[in-house]
Structure 1
Amino acid sequence: MDDLLCHETWLSSSSHDLHDDSSIVEPKPLFRCSSCDEYENEEFELAFSVCIDKEIAYMPEPNYVSYLYFNHLIPARVRVIQWFLKCRSRLNLSFGTVFYAANYLDRFISICQCDEWKYWMVELLSITCLSTAIKFHEISAFTLHEIQVEGLYHSYESDSILRMELILLKALGWRLNTVTPYSIVETVVCYVQSSLRPYLHEKIMSRVTELLLQATLDLRMLEFRQSVVGICALWCSIDQLYPSVSDAFITYIAKLFNQSQKDDLIDCHKIMEISTALEGSGHHYIKAQPV
């Protein structure tokens, strides 16, 4: 292990996410444009376009899904994300931190293209991704011992984790302020939350989060851009909880995408709708298996 950490061999082949009308307030211009709110619309559209412009730099390398299949890493990846969620609950972390950690994980694995993965390597990487995401995204600090206190098969010395953090940072090009489907949703919701009564806003965010966590475990979602997955999760949630503005919402948002991305929105939305139907029927199409 020390030899692997001291010599950055993992980088040698780098290629560089019911209808109660009394709860609804008249929606703001995100759903209905008006000249008096033109500045607010322009501000949102600029923020959204910035996210779209930069998101491609925070995606895994091409053919990442094929690499996961070929190297039998799918069960390990599912287990790691489930561990992130357990740590989120135990340490009271934000969901944003979980999505950051998952992004770091996918980007690193896709970049390093290691010839032979051992599960201890995946665990060490998962601890490193979570600790880095916590440092970047959380206000409270946690020791490396607190992070790895349960749910792992191995225990790692702080020095090993810190050296692995440096390898991770170099591999990611020190680009940690990543765009995730969750951050995309946060960008959109901050412009529409005043249109909703507080408890309905909470219901929408709760449902969006559920869908995005499910999407994180679905390898098909790795083929779509972060903005597409995030908007589709919000689209599905609004369909269920706020149907009176659903069509207006997606019509408005779709104008901010190019034609290829609009096609991806349709494809991704179909997948997410089917997954939601399976979830409602009690079927779970992804389960973690022993590595």
Structure 2
Amino acid sequence: MDEFLLCQEVMFDRKNGILEDANDFLLCDEVWDMSPVIEHTRQHHKPKEMNTLVHHITKEDCERSFANCLRKEMKYMLGSGYVNLLECNPFVATCRFKAIQWLIHSHRRFNFCVGTVLNAVNYVDRFIYINKCHGWNYLMMELLSVASLSIAIKFGETSPPSLNEIQEGLEYSFEVKLIQRMELRILESLGWELNSITPHSYVELIVWELNSYFKNHLVLDELSSRLNDLLLASSLDYKFLKYRPCVIVMSGLRCVLEDFLQLTYQDCLSHISNFIPPDQTENLQTCCKMMQETLVRCCKSEANGNPSSPDTVLIKEQVAIFEEQIDLSLIDGSNLQKKKNLVKRKREEDDGCFIKHKKYVD
């Protein structure tokens, strides 16, 4: 392969805690690694995600990063068109639910970063929307799920499990070569645009802003953990996809602050809400109602000892699927050019949206 990986993203220096624009592009001068992940013994229980690094950035860094996320998020969201597609195709909607449930299960089993899982969810949704998946069966959806997660962990995890390990909990066990071919098909369909802006993209920035209101880092870490759990739970409901990621995370924050702190939080919430485009106020209200319902369901499930995304899955013998058994040419390649045109149009819309809201954010 001669392709080079080009990802639009805000660069974050985890050593020095600095965010940089880097001219809005990250260019990795390397070919896509299609080799299987090396087998090794993985530590499944690492410390949960902390949000201490973000405290070292400046206020200007935070505001600039927030503005960049707002400018780019429209490129990675699907909106009402995708919601309508799922409403008209209950089978695909059900397969999507099971796929994301498995992704969340994998997050809990391997302690993947929440960002890794939500990126994989975004890849799954975008691929379904681009290719429509007419005539697919559940086997193909599982293949899409494991390939999407494999791509996501290459970017988000420093100690990833093998492709064979991550397939636990699936009905089928796919040959490594088949997964790699599906990875390439996903990458081509998504135009190699992998650094998705998801609701989780805002979490560290929000925590940094909240630091001036809640000095206790333990409180901030617990708040962040609860917010991430709620974002994962909301990803199961495709109806949230009609809202922008910034609206989803702000709705989740409002619910968590009210449920967790049970104190007056309007001052800090109003401050952070200033980052959200003013034309999203009405959407924020309706999304908050949906998020509150999601939180109630999560609380009931936990109280009954039946979490919405179980940590354990009944183990049964998997059906082995080999490369020659799947014809990936059934995926409509003609949609690739449509995707390129869509990306170009969204970039133009993003630029216009950024100019419109830049003065407000600043």
Cα 1:138/1:193, change in 2 over 3 Å: farther
Q: Is 1:175 paired with 2:189?
A: no
Deviation at 1:122, TM superposition (A): 0.1
Counterparts of 1:192 and 1:65, CA distance in 2: 33
Counterparts of 1:242 and 1:280, CA distance in 2: 16
Q: CA RMSD in A?
A: 2.4
Number of the residue aligned with 1:86: 105
| TM-score (norm. length: structure 1) | 0.78
Deviation at 1:99, TM superposition (A): 0.9
Deviation at 1:210, TM superposition (A): 2.1
Alignment gaps of 5+ in structure 2: 1-56, 311-362
Cα 1:174/1:70, change in 2 over 3 Å: same
| TM-score (norm. length: structure 2) | 0.63
Instruction: Give the letter aligned to residue 156 of structure 2.
Output: H
Cα 1:173/1:84, change in 2 over 3 Å: same
Instruction: Give the letter aligned to residue 43 of structure 1.
Output: D
Counterparts of 1:265 and 1:212, CA distance in 2: 15
Number of the residue aligned with 2:125: 106
Q: Is 1:127 paired with 2:146?
A: yes
Number of the residue aligned with 1:162: 180
Cα 1:287/1:133, change in 2 over 3 Å: closer
Deviation at 1:258, TM superposition (A): 2.6
Number of the residue aligned with 2:222: 203
Instruction: Give the letter aligned to residue 164 of structure 1.
Output: M
Instruction: Give the letter aligned to residue 81 of structure 2.
Output: N
- Contact 2:206-2:272 within 8 A present in 1 as well: no
Instruction: Give the letter aligned to residue 168 of structure 1.
Output: I
Q: How does 1:142-291 map to 2 (within 5 A)?
A: 142-148=161-167, 150-193=168-211, 195-244=214-263, 246-281=265-300
- Contact 1:61-1:107 within 8 A present in 2 as well: no
Number of the residue aligned with 1:96: 115
Instruction: Give the letter aligned to residue 240 of structure 1.
Output: D
Would you tell me which structure has more strand in proportion to its own residues?
Answer: 2
1:135-191 CA distance string (max 9 Å, x none): 01111132211121x211112111111111111011111111111111211222134
Q: Is 1:56 paired with 2:74?
A: yes
Cα 1:138/1:278, change in 2 over 3 Å: closer
Identity of aligned residues (%): 36
Which protein has greater RCO, CA pairs closer than 8 Å, 6+ apart?
A: 1
Instruction: Give the letter aligned to residue 267 of structure 1.
Output: T
1:202-251 CA distance string (max 9 Å, x none): 22112112211221112221110111101111121122334555211222
1:15-62 CA distance string (max 9 Å, x none): xxxxxxxxxxxxxxxxxxxxxxxx954432221111010001111265
